Amino acid sequence: MNIPPQLARYGGYLFALMATVIWSGNFIIARGLSNEIAPVTLAFCRWTTAMIALLPFAASVMFRQRKEIFASLRHLIPTAFLGVTVFNTIIYIAGHKTTALNLSLIAIISPVFIIILAHIFLNDRVTLTRLGGVALSVFGVVLLTTRGDLGLLLQLQFNEGDLLMLFATFIFAVYTILVRRKPVTISPTAYLGANFVLGWIMLLPWVLWEWTYAPLVMPAPHVLGVFLYIGVGASLLAYLFWNYAIAAIGPAKSAIVYYSLPLFCGIEAWLILGETITWVHGLSGLLIVCGIVIANRQ
């Protein structure tokens, strides 16, 4: 059945928004676990959970499309390495070395990288309207993360963790561009399964090396519940939604929707952690949403 282009476009925005909502919860959880579990181990447990959840549904499809998968390894290995092995692992490592404010501000750069790379490699137009919308969303994110005190920007001190986070934002941008060139012969389920398996295999030597100086210990019961969320939600569902969004509306427009992430982080912090909501949150949310709408206006 052929889906009307306009309906497919709206679906793409919805999928990008759903992925962003799920990832916003992952940021809150990852921040809370920074002192309880080593970063590479956290990433390993995350992707192990995601594989266990996906493979019962994807294994048969991957077996039927094994020839297509092996023929596309030149594409799959880089996407798996960047999107699974490296990206989130570096974020977890950076979380041990810098502040949450620095991480939030540096994360803003990822959509900018995506827009630039999409323009260079995919001939995606960069219009003044899109740039204006991006600038409005960026200002909204900065206002939100500084809680209205822009003077905090003058007090920021950057360190090794900030450089790692900057590197992670670039990795995510490259991954997003590569997904746009997904082989059409591979179904979305087989594509996701192949990425998870290859990325998990490449992550294994890294976690074994970490265990030589940070031995694995039995996590607390609440941490096991967290693994389910970041494994099934932030890995399986969010990556599936994000890949669908890229296919439907392209990487640049998906990236602009990503600017709503801190807005959802604030809402979840209010609902889950009991943090207060002030006029800054309302104004920031308005700026972010208006910027997204303006940047994606046809």
The residue ranking higher by pLDDT, 34 or 91, is: 91
Q: Across residues 29-39, what is the average pLDDT?
A: 71
Nearest to 146 by CA among 103, 109, 101, 110: 101
Least confident interval from 4-8, 27-31, 38-42, 144-148: 27-31
- The proportion of the chain whose per-residue pLDDT surpasses 90, expressed as a percent, equals 36
In the predicted structure, residue 298 carries a pLDDT above the cut 70? no
Q: What is the pTM of this model?
A: 0.83
Confidence (pLDDT) at 136:
87
Confidence (pLDDT) at 158:
67
Can you tell me the distance from the alpha carbon of 115 to that of 275, in angstroms, rounded to the nearest whole number?
Answer: 33
Two tokens, residue 261? 């992430």
Confidence (pLDDT) at 30:
59
Confidence (pLDDT) at 156:
64
Query: DSSP secondary structure string, the chain?
Result: -PPPHHHHHHHHHHHHHHHHHHHHHHHHHHHHTTTTS-HHHHHHHHHHHHHHHHHHHHHHHHHHTHHHHHHTHHHHHHHHIIIIIIHHHHHHHHHTTS-HHHHHHHHTHHHHHHHHHHHHHH-----HHHHHHHHHHHHHHHHHHTTT-GGGGGG----HHHHHHHHHHHHHHHHHHHHHT--TTS-HHHHHHHHHHHHHHHHHHHHHHHHTTS---PPPHHHHHHHHIIIIIIIIIHHHHHHHHHHHH-HHHHHHHGGGHHHHHHHHHHHHS-----HHHHHHHHHHHHHHHHHT--
In the predicted structure, residue 80 carries a pLDDT above the cut 60? yes
Terminal Cα distance for the chain, rounded: 26
Average pLDDT, the chain: 84
Q: Across residues 227-236, what is the average pLDDT?
A: 88
Can you tell me the distance from the alpha carbon of 168 to that of 89, in angstroms, rounded to the nearest whole number?
Answer: 9
Least confident interval from 31-35, 56-60, 117-121, 202-206: 31-35
The top-scoring range by mean pLDDT among 6-15, 74-83, 143-152, 212-221 is 74-83
- The proportion of the chain whose per-residue pLDDT surpasses 70, expressed as a percent, equals 86
Confidence of residue 245 (pLDDT cuts 50, 70, 90): very high
Residues 3-18 pLDDT 10s? 566 777 888 889 999 9
The residue ranking higher by pLDDT, 36 or 246, is: 246
Confidence (pLDDT) at 273:
60
Nearest to 56 by CA among 236, 262, 211: 236
